[in-house]
Amino acid sequence: MNLFLIAQVFIIPVNQPSVQLEDGRVIIHWSKVDTSVTKYEVYRKAEGSEDVVKIGETTDTILIDTTLKPGMAYLYMVRSFGPDDSTFVDSNWSQPVALKQEKQGEEREYVLGIIAKERFPVLIFLLFFGFLFFYYYNQARMGKEIFIRRLAGLDAIDEAVGRSTEMGKPVVFVHGLTSLDDPNTISAVAILKYIAKKVAMYEIDLIVPNYDPLVLLASKEAVKEGMLEAGRPDVYKEENIMFLTTQQFGYAAGVNGILVREKPGATFFMGYFYAESLVMAETAYTVGSISIAGTTAITQLPFFIAACDYTLIGEEMYAASAYLSRNPVEIGTIKSEDVAKILIIAAIIIGSILATLAQFGIAEDLFNLYKTLWTVTGG
């Protein structure tokens, strides 16, 4: 059987499937590129072998293979079928994926008999960071003043809302594309609550389009609560917090429509964004709105930095809620991040120096010891 045969025409093959090894099984995932496909069959072959085995069929774009032998490397291929079962087309073979001996069920190695060995360094790092976190938390609770640097993007929120008030224009808050299980979104909801409080004080409209229905519900509660805290629950307008769509570019079109029609004085983009980020941020710029963005999506950060007035970069987004609360205890915990970062940077510099010296045959043993320590502590 020739698996690369493209029978007849008209079906677009899926791209190379992506494979991910997780807990002794392989998750094979691919994108739907042709909507006329009625089913997919997934095939597997061992690396270096031509024996192809069908491992299952599905109408979905994901399949999990649980029948791997440890120590073998496998490749996967997806066959897409057209309306009649004789029409099909094959994808390219995936990257090889190998199941190591120790990751298989009972063969897995444990530390202290219960903790998975390969995750032990993560635990060590978590304990180390947890110690720092609670140390600074206690310091702050005992009243010690803790300094953290100013975050221009968050300080500008008041200025942006004030500008909107002066212009008599509404404020628009745009969520990212992730749901409430993402810390980005939880942080964004907390920022929204703060903005709602400010907006209520100045009695202007706050428009919140939503991509995810769960986030919609959280947004409604956050805005209601923020306005209540400001003592102005009457400013809350249910119709201003609306659901748009769960389609990426449909959402971008909806947000752009709102921006163009309402011409807000300030626009906030908070959450995890994808390719739609610049489409929306640039539209906000063209309507003359001051824009403040915050995201942890590294690929979208350059777009926001180019198009927005202020951008919360990465961790600043997570720190936003604590920073805005002005609560010294919450702010104290942010200090632990900075201290951990300094320690990690120091460890990287020491490691770089030792690695360089080891290249010249100096202090090789010390470098090897350092490497072992680095690995064990989650580096």
Partner 1 sequence: MQTTLPVLLTFIMGMFMIIMFFMPQLGTAESLATRWTTIIWGFAMALGIDSLLLNHFRKIRKGGTQAIHSMALIVAFFVTLIWGLYAWWRYGNPFDAQSSFLWMFRYVYLPLDATMFALLAFFIASAAYRAFRARSMESTLLLIAATIVMMGRVPLGGVIFVAFFIAFMLIVGVYFLYESTKYIGTDRWIRLIVGLFFLSTIVPLFVPSFAKAFANFIPGLADWIMQVPNIAGQRGIGLGLILGSIAFSLRVLFGIERGYLR
Binding residue for partner 1, selected from 175, 178, 321, 370, defined by CB under 8 A: 321
Binding residue for partner 1, selected from 52, 98, 330, 363, defined by CB under 8 A: 330
319 is a contact residue toward partner 1 (CB under 8 A): yes
**Do 281 and 304 touch, CB atoms closer than 8 A?**
yes
Strand-pair category, 266-270 with 97-98: unpaired
- Per CB under 8 A, the segment of 33-41, 150-158, 161-169, 357-365 that binds partner 1 is 33-41
Min. distance of Cβ 317 from partner 1 in angstroms? 8
Min. distance of Cβ 29 from partner 1 in angstroms? 14
Residue with smaller CB distance to partner 1, 49 or 100:
100
Min. distance of Cβ 285 from partner 1 in angstroms? 8
On the 0-12 / 13-18 / 19+ scale of CB atoms within 10 A, 39 is middle
Residue with smaller CB distance to partner 1, 75 or 241:
241
123 is a contact residue toward partner 1 (CB under 8 A): yes
First vs last C-alpha separation in the chain: 47
x/- contact string, 35-64, with partner 1 (CB under 8 A)?
Answer: xx-x--------------------------
Which residues in the 204-263 window bind partner 1 by CB under 8 A? 210, 212-214, 216-218, 221-222, 225, 239, 241-250, 252-253, 257, 261
For residue 111, give the 3-state DSSP assignment: strand
Min. distance of Cβ 344 from partner 1 in angstroms? 6
Q: How many residues does the chain have?
A: 379
Distance of alpha carbon 191 from the chain centroid: 17
Determine the angle formed by the axes of helices 183-202 and 152-167, rounding to 10 degrees: 40
275 is a contact residue toward partner 1 (CB under 8 A): yes
Binding residue for partner 1, selected from 42, 75, 334, 354, defined by CB under 8 A: 334
267 is a contact residue toward partner 1 (CB under 8 A): no
Residue with smaller CB distance to partner 1, 315 or 364:
315
Determine the angle formed by the axes of helices 315-325 and 328-359, rounding to 10 degrees: 150
Min. distance of Cβ 129 from partner 1 in angstroms? 6
Could you tell me how many residues of this chain bind partner 1 (CB under 8 A)? Answer: 88
**From start to end of the chain, where are the E strands?**
18-22, 25-29, 39-46, 52-58, 62-65, 73-81, 88-90, 97-98, 110-111, 115-116, 171-175, 206-210, 241-243, 266-270, 290-295, 310-313
Residue with smaller CB distance to partner 1, 159 or 225:
225
Min. distance of Cβ 50 from partner 1 in angstroms? 32
For residue 249, give the 3-state DSSP assignment: helix
Residue with smaller CB distance to partner 1, 205 or 363:
205
Which among 343, 309, 325 is positioned nearest to 190, based on CA atoms? 325
Residue with smaller CB distance to partner 1, 14 or 75:
14
Distances (CA, A) of 255 to 69, 161, 226, 300, 314: 49, 19, 23, 17, 23
372 is a contact residue toward partner 1 (CB under 8 A): no
**Do 335 and 132 touch, CB atoms closer than 8 A?**
no
Which among 147, 134, 143, 135 is positioned nearest to 331, based on CA atoms? 147
